[in-house]
Every structure is written in structure tokens, then in C-alpha cells.
Structure 1
Amino acid sequence: MTADQILTLAVLIAVVAALIWDRVRSDVVALSGAAVLLVTGVVRPVEVQGAFASPAIIALASLFVIAYALELSGLLDRAITGAVAMCRRLGAAGLWLMLGAIGCLSCFLNSTPIVVLGAPVVRDVATALRLPPKRYLMPLSYITVLTGCCTLIGTSTNLLVDDMARIAGQPRFGIFEITPVGLPMALVGGLYLFLFSGKLMKQSLAEPDAPRGGDIQVDSAQVGDAELFAEQRAFNPRHAAIAAAVFVGAIAAAALNVAPIAATAFAGAVLLILLRVITPDEAYGGLRPQILILIAGMVVIGIAMEESKLAGMATEALIGSLNGVGPLAALIVLYLVTMVLTELLSNATVAVLMTPIAVALAESLGVSARPFLVAVMMAGSAAFATPFGYQTNVIVYQMAGYRYMDFVRVGLPLNLITFAVAVAAIRIVFPF
């Protein structure tokens, strides 16, 4: 191994250990790892700059502003009132029905904005019913990720794999072609969360919520500094209609490939300022710097793994180790490796790394590449065992003050369950 590879691996191990130790704020841990990599020259300043200005950061920051505009309009307070009324009649079952409804939206819309808007509502409905929000926020993130695997447009990972496969000469996927694999994963995963997630989080649920970054519990749904949201917002129909229309328009434009979600969300946030639905100062107040910095710091570590060739070295070793094995064994190994990488790197990075390997692996075995590409799609989103495998995990991790090990306890079994379901479904639906 080269010096850069050793440094990158050491930083990665140290960051994960510090997050498990849980004595230092997670955003500070991620920034410290990025700083070490920058000072030692593993990554260049321009690459760190690119991480902080990445499409994911732009999209998430813009969605936070749009979500804050919806909060200021009083629309989310109205939604909470209706949700509380339903859940008072149904109790905890009402909250699970709400999670299911949010999951259905994630089949067709990006999960990040859905969780940005849905997490505060779920949290505050649970609080109003005197139920622990931690019991429902982690399942919210997991359910939106699982249902996003049900269609081609449910997650950007699926679209990226499809596009790269097309470049490699493979036919494009239909919107619902992967549904027979994604739907069983979502149903079995949802049932597991309903039956077992509370038991696995029993110790954490007994602790008071401690949102990171200075956030505190308040009585109205919000995204941002809790001090800005302490009072109930009066309902403003005009602002609510405009903010809702901008949100739907931004997501729809991205879903129809008019422009990337980073561009449409950014344009939507600026439009809300121009229409005076939200002031510039309010827009700044709606940002969540702790989450944005945390993601950027982890992206820098992912960049270091690519630049040092640490990730490439691992993937080359994978192809060499699979010589002479059968298609099913190769599929299983490919899925497991992709699943592990997606816990460490961004979903887009994993898609870029693993899609060419999937095609090359299928060609070397003389079989169809379809099942291998679907495996990359499913495993590339199945990031449940850490708070940083997927953006929605980061959002609920910060909001509810989970411990790192909470995600390991609940997410690792979910990884293994969805892995088994996915491989079985792929083997049936996509013959070699």
C-alpha cells in the first residue's frame, strides 16, 4: 500500500471509531478527518472545495430553505394538527400508517426532500402523543430508502446505474422493471422495522432526546435552529400555496430530468426569496449547517479513497478473486461488496465504481448483466448500518440525537434481511 492509502485508511478507521465513541460532535469528527487528509496532501484544496460545493450539499441546503418556507407559512402546523387528530384515534398505528404513506411518495420522489419535510412532522406528532420520536424517525429514513428502490426514478442511484449501463452498451431499464425486486425488499424491511426496531432501540428509547448541534425539542415542526420555531405559525394561504407549488415543481422537474435536483431546488429556494415568501435572513436561518458540514466532511473522506486508489485497489481484487466461481456466487459477492462500500462512500461514488465491474463480471461469466446491475442498484441504496450511508440517515441522526450504535443495532440486521430478499428476487425475476 502507498502512504496515501495508509493515511486514508487510518483516517477512515479513526473517524468511525470517534463516531462510535460518541464524545465529540459528529460534524467536528468529520471535519477533523477532512483536515488531516488535506494537511497531509491526500486530497487537494480544490477537492475539498468541491466537496463543500457538491450537488448533494446544494440540493440539501436548498431543500432546507424550501422546508423552512413551508414552516413559516403555517402549512406544516396544519398538517401536524390533522396528523395528530388521526393518530389520537389510531394511536401508534396512525404513525405507522403515516410512515407508509410517506414511503409511497418515495417510490416516485427523491427521499431526501421527503424526509426533510416529513421528519419534523413525524417527530412532533409522536411528541404530541407522548411517544418517543426516536421510535419512528429511524424507520422513516429506512422506509423512504427501501421504497425508493421500488422504481427506477425512486433514487438517483438507480438512474445513475441505468445511465452508466447504457454507456456500457446495455439496454435501458423501464421505470417499473426493478419493482419485483424492490417491492419485496420494502415490504419485508417494513415488517421487520414494525416488529423489531423498537426492541432493538430499547436502551436508546429510555434516554431523553438530545438533538445535536444545539437543536432542542419544540412544539411545532421545523427544519433549522429551534429558537426560530418556538412559536406556532399563523397560516398564510398565499405563502403556503406558493411554497408548496415550488416544492412540487422542483421535485417534478428533477423527476422528469428537466434539470438535476440540486439545480431545481436551488432555483426554487431563490424563487421563494424573490416572491417574498421568505426573506434572505429567514432563508439563512433555515439552513442546517451541522448536517451540511457533516456530509461535506464525509464526502472528502470518500474523495480520498478514490484519489489514493484505495477503493480501486479493492475493486480490482474483487474481480481477481471471483475467477472460476458461478454466477450466483458472483452475484452474492458483488451485492455484499457494494453494500459495504455504500456505507463508506456516497451512493453516486458506489454506482460509478461498481456498475462497470458488474458489466465486466457478467461478460467474464458469459451471462446476462441484468441481474448484476439490479444488485448494484439495490445494494447501492441499502445503507442502513451507519448514520452516514445515506443523507436521510444523517437528517434523522442529527434531529433525534441517536447514537452511532443505534444504527448498527437496527440497520445491520436490516442490511442482511434485504440482502437475502434481494438476491432471491433477482434470481427469480432476472435469469442469468
Structure 2
Amino acid sequence: MTIEQVLTLVVLVAVVGALIWDKVRADVVALTGAAVLLMTGVVRPVEVQGAFASPAIIALASLFVIAYALELSGLLDRAIELAVAMCRRLGATGIWLMLGAIGLLSSFLNSTPIVVLGAPVVRDVAKTLGLPPKRYLMPLSYLTVLTGCCTLIGTSTNLLVDDMARVAGQPRFGMFEITPVGLPMALAGALYLFLFSGKLMGKSMTRPAPDAAPSEIDVPGAQIGNASLFAEPRPFQPVKAMIASAVFVGAIALAAGGIVPIAASAFAGAVLLILLRVISPDEAYGGLRPQILILIAGMVVIGIAMEESGLAADATDALVGSMRHVGPLTALIVLYALTMVLTELLSNATVAVLVTPIAVALGESLGVSPRPFLVAVMMAGSAAFATPFGYQTNVIVYQMGGYSYVDFVKVGLPLNLLTFVVAILAIRVFFPF
């Protein structure tokens, strides 16, 4: 191994260890690793600059601004008020319908602020109706994760995998290209949660939950950010809500139609909202959620170091070499399982950086399209259900609902296995080798 490979490996192991240890914020860990690689000369300043200006970062930052403009206009609060009124009329059925509506929003907007806004409402409505909040809070988190897998912009994982695959010479994904895989996963998961989640939790639902406000959430590795930004009630401003909605739909339509990349349309939309004074520059900065952007950028720098030093190529050759004599379907199953296990332990950005180059190399070495393997990484990279710390929305409901760790294992592990099977079947149908 060269000295650059040794340094990169040491940094990678240290970063992964720190993320598992979970005593330091994940964005700080990633930034520290990037700084060490920069200081030791493994990566150049221009490469670090490129990581912070990648299309995935631009798209995410712009979408955060648009989502925050929608929230400041009072549109989301108004939607929640209407949902509460529906729940009072329909009872438990209304709550499930509200969870479905929240999940639909999560297909296009970041799930964390949606859950921060929606979880207290779901909890309070359930209490008002004399129903256990635990029955609905965990499904709320899981549904937002599942529906986020339905579009390219549903999760930061999808955008990052798409960006890294582009760097590896693969064509970009369309806005709804992964929907034929994500939608069956979401529907199967929703049906499972509706039918079995309450039964699997059993007596746990009768234990009282703490009255935790969203602003009290503080888990270093969860990357929730300042939840109070999203928890404050906003008065409904129809004009601003209409403009923000039109800009959001326009940005999605332009990207979905292949007219411009999502990074370009979302960036233009965010700037337009500032020019139209729907959101002020200071408010736009406040909604950026830099901790997530820095985490992703830092992990991209580590990915660049792995590529430049040759460590990624050597590791990929070793893994791919062990699978040269298996069929593409077996390789797809192994890759999905590996990604799913890593996602339960590490951040989604870390997993995307580690596994995306392997997915591309695996497809190429087997003489088939890398596309199915990349879709598997997108799906498995977000499918973290078996622990309360695998995804940031899990942390929110974990604290608010007063769940035990075992509750997530009981409900989430079967959901992991179910979505695993559905995803593999859907990938085989819609993304042929």
C-alpha cells in the first residue's frame, strides 16, 4: 500500500469509529477527516472545493430553502390544521390518512422538518381520541423514510448516490426513475405497519410517553439540527404560500421533464423566492441546515481521497474478485444486504460514499448494467428501521414516544426484511441487468 492509501484508510477507520461511537456530531467528524486528508496532501484544495460545490450539495441546500419558505408561509401548518379536523371526524382512520399525507410530502421535501412538525400533532390527536400515540409515531417515521425512496430528491442519499455515480461515468437518474422500485416498497411497508406494528409492540404501547417537545431533541449523531426552526407555529400567508408552492412545483417539473438538472432548477427557485421577498436572505440562511450539507461534503472529500489514492479501486477489486463467479442477482442481493447493515450503523452519506463505487465496479466486472446495483444502494441506504438511531426521524419519535430500543427491533427488523424482498423483486423487473 502507498502512503496515501495508508493515510486514507486510517482516516476512514477513524471516521467510521467516531460515527459508531456517536459522542461527537457527525458533521464535525466528517469535516475533521476531510481536514486531515487536506493537510496531509492526500486531496488537493481544488478537490475539497469541488466537494462543497457538488450538484448534490447545491440541490439539497436549495431544496432546504424552498421547503423553509413553504413552512414560513404557514402552508404546512394550515395543512396540519385541516388534517387534525379530519382526524376528529374519522378517528383512528383519520390518523392513518394523515400519516399517508405526510408521507406523500416526504417524497419531495426533507423528512426531518416534516416529522418535527407532524409528530407532536399525531401525538396530541391520538391522545385526544384516547388512542396510544406509540401506535402512530413509529409508523410516521418509517413512512416518511419509505416515501422518500420514491423520488430522486426524496432523500439526500439518493442525490448523493446519483452525484457519485455521475463522477464514475454513469448517466444521471431521472426525477421519477426510481419510483417503480420505491413505490412498491412504500406500499408494502405501509400495509405491514397498518396491520402488524401495533401487535408487534404489544404491551409497550400502554407505557406512558414523556411530553418531549421537538426543541428538546439532542442526539449528536442524528443530525436533526435546530428543530425549533420548524416547530414554531406560523400564520397562514396565502400569497406567499401560493408563490412558494408554484416555485416548488416548477422546479420539480423542470427537473422531471429533463429540461434542467434538479440542482439548477432548485437553485433558481430558491433565488427567485428571495427576489420575490417570499423569504428573506437571513431566513434562507436559517433554513439551510448546514450540519447536513457539511456532513455530506466531508464524506465526499473522503470518497475523493479513496478514489485518488487508489484505495477504492483496490477494495473494490478485492470484493468484486470474490464475486466474479456468482450471478448478477446474487451479487445484487449481497450488495443490498451489505448496504442495509451498514446503514443501521453509519450515516446515510457515509454509506453512499463507501458503497456507490463498489456498485458501479460490480456491475462493470460482471458485464451487466451498474444501474440495478445503484438503485439497490439508494433503497438500502435509507432503509434503516431496526434501530432508533439509523435515521434522524427515528430519533425524533424515539424520544417523543418513549419507545424502547427493542420496540424498534420488533417492528423495524421485519420491515427491513420485507422491503429487502420487495426492492430486489422490483429492481429485477424495472432495471434489467
Indicate whether the TM-score tops 0.5.
yes
Report sequence identity in percent.
Answer: 56
Shift of residue 401, structure 1, vs aligned partner: 8.4
Query: 1:383 Cα shift?
Result: 1.0
Aligned equivalents of 1:187, 1:272: Cα separation in 2: 34
Seen in structure 2, the aligned counterparts of structure 1 residues 348 and 82 have a Cα distance that, compared at 3 Å, is farther
Please state if 1:12 is matched with 2:12: yes
**1:302 to partner: Cα distance:** 2.4
Question: 1:327–1:414: structure 2 CA closer, same or farther, 3 Å change rule?
Answer: same
Match of 1:354 in 2: 359
Aligned residue in 1 for 2:119: 123
Q: Which residue number corresponds to residue 84 of structure 1?
A: 84
Unaligned runs of 5+ in 2: 128-132
Could you list the per-position Cα deviations for residues 360-380 of structure 1 after superposition, in whole angstroms to 9, with x for gaps in the alignment?
41x3xxxxx46x743432333
Rate the CA distance shift 1:101–1:65 in 2: closer, same or farther, 3 A. Answer: same
Kindly tell me: are residues 323 and 22 of structure 1, through their superposed partners in 2, closer, same or farther at Cα, counting changes over 3 Å?
A: closer
Residue 269 (structure 2) aligns with: 268
- Which amino acid in 2 is paired with 1:382? A
Per the TM alignment, residue 386 of structure 1 is displaced from its structure 2 partner at its CA by 6.2
Q: Deviations over 1:28-71 (max 9, x none)?
A: 22222222222222222222222222222222222222222222
Change (3 A) 1:425 1:312: same
Distance 1:138 1:39, change over 3 A: farther
Q: Number of paired residues?
A: 399
Pair 1:236–1:346, CA change in 2 (3 A)? same
Indicate the larger mover: 81-90 or 341-350.
341-350
With over 3 angstroms needed to count, the CA separation of the structure-2 counterparts of 1:427 and 1:297, relative to structure 1, is: closer
What does the per-residue CA deviation read over 1:51-108, in whole Å, with 9 as the maximum and x for residues that have no partner?
Answer: 22222222222222222222222212211211222234455654443343454567xx
SS at match of 1:306: helix
CA contact (8 A) 1:70 1:243 kept: yes
> 1:157, 1:381 within 8 Å by CA — same for their partners in 2?
no
Determine if contact 1:87/1:93 at 8 Å carries over to the other structure.
yes
Instruction: Evaluate the alpha carbon distance shift between residue 318 and residue 346 of structure 1 in structure 2; reply closer, same or farther with a 3 A threshold.
Output: closer
Q: Which AA in structure 2 matches 1:142?
A: V
Written as runs of structure 1 = structure 2, the 5 A alignment for 1:299-318 is: 299-318=300-319
The alignment's C-alpha RMSD in Å is 4.6
Residue type matched to 2:293 in 1? L
Measured at CA, do residues 406 and 379 of structure 1 come closer, stay the same or move farther in structure 2, by a change above 3 Å? farther
Q: Which residue of structure 2 lines up, in the alignment, with residue 52 of structure 1? A: 52
Distance 2:269 2:432 in 1: 43
Greater shift, 279-288 or 268-277, is seen at 279-288
Query: What is the deviation of 1:260?
Result: 1.5
- Give the letter aligned to residue 253 of structure 1: L
CA distance in 1, matches of 2:239, 2:141: 33
**Partner residue, 1:366:** none
Give the letter aligned to residue 362 of structure 2: I
Aligned-residue offset at 1:182: 4.7
Structure 1 residues 117 and 243: alpha-carbon distance in aligned structure 2, compared to 1, 3 A threshold = farther
CA contact 1:160–1:348 (8 Å) conserved in 2: no
Shift of 1:114: 5.0
The 3 A distance-change label for structure 1 pair 373 and 406 is farther
Going from structure 1 to structure 2, the CA distance change for 1:120 and 1:224 (only over 3 Å counts) comes to same
The separation in 2 between residues aligned to 1:225 and 1:161, in whole angstroms, is 28
With over 3 angstroms needed to count, the CA separation of the structure-2 counterparts of 1:196 and 1:296, relative to structure 1, is farther
- Aligned pair partner of 2:376 in 366, 375, 378: 378
Q: Mean alpha-carbon deviation: is it higher for 92-101 or for 159-168?
A: 159-168
Greater shift in the superposed pair: 291-300 or 319-328:
319-328
Alignment partners' CA distance in 2, 1:306 and 1:18: 22
Distance 2:234 2:218 in 1: 24
Tell me: CA distance 1:386–1:146, structure 2 relative to 1, closer, same or farther (3 Å): closer
Displacement of 1:407:
12
Write the letter of the residue equivalent to 1:100.
G
Q: Offset of 1:244 from its aligned partner? A: 0.8
Q: 1:331 to 1:293 in 2, by over 3 A?
A: closer
2:379 alignment partner AA: S
- Give the TM-score of the pair, scaled to structure 2: 0.72
The alpha-carbon distance between structure 1 residues 323 and 191, as it changes in their structure 2 partners (threshold 3 A), is same
Partner Cα distance (2:93, 2:9) in 1: 44
Distance 1:412 1:11 in 2: 31
TM-score where L is the length of structure 1 = 0.73
Q: SS of the counterpart of 2:46?
A: helix
| 1:24 corresponding residue in structure 2 | 24
Query: Take 1:336 and 1:349, find their aligned partners in 2: how far apart are those partners?
Result: 14
Partner of 2:238: 237
Give the 3 Å change call, closer, same or farther, for CA 193–296 of structure 1 in structure 2: farther
Q: Distance in 2 between matches of 1:344 and 1:155?
A: 10
Does 1:143 find its partner at 2:146? Answer: yes
**Could you tell me which residue of structure 2 aligns to residue 298 of structure 1?**
299
After the TM superposition, which residues 35-50 of structure 1 pair with which residues of structure 2 at under 5 Å, given as runs?
A: 35-50=35-50
3-state SS of paired residue (1:287): coil
| Paired residues of 1:386 and 1:407 also in contact (CA < 8 A) | no
Deviations 1:263-285 (A, max 9, x none): 11111111111112122222222
Contact 1:379 1:419 in 2 (8 A): no
- How far apart in 1 are the matches of 2:237 and 2:260? 30
Contact 2:123 2:137 in 1 (8 A): no
Query: In the aligned structure 1, how far is the partner of 2:248 from the partner of 2:40?
Result: 42
TM superposition shift of 1:248? 0.9
* Mapping of residues 157-168 of structure 1, within 5 Å: none
In structure 2, do the counterparts of structure 1 residues 164 and 417 end up closer, same or farther at CA, with 3 Å as the change threshold? farther
Please state how far the C-alpha of 1:184 moved relative to its aligned partner: 4.1
Indicate the residue corresponding to 2:217 in structure 1. 211
Secondary structure of residue in 1 paired with 2:381 = coil
- How far apart are residue 137 of structure 1 and its match? 5.4
Asked if 1:286 corresponds to 2:283, the answer is no
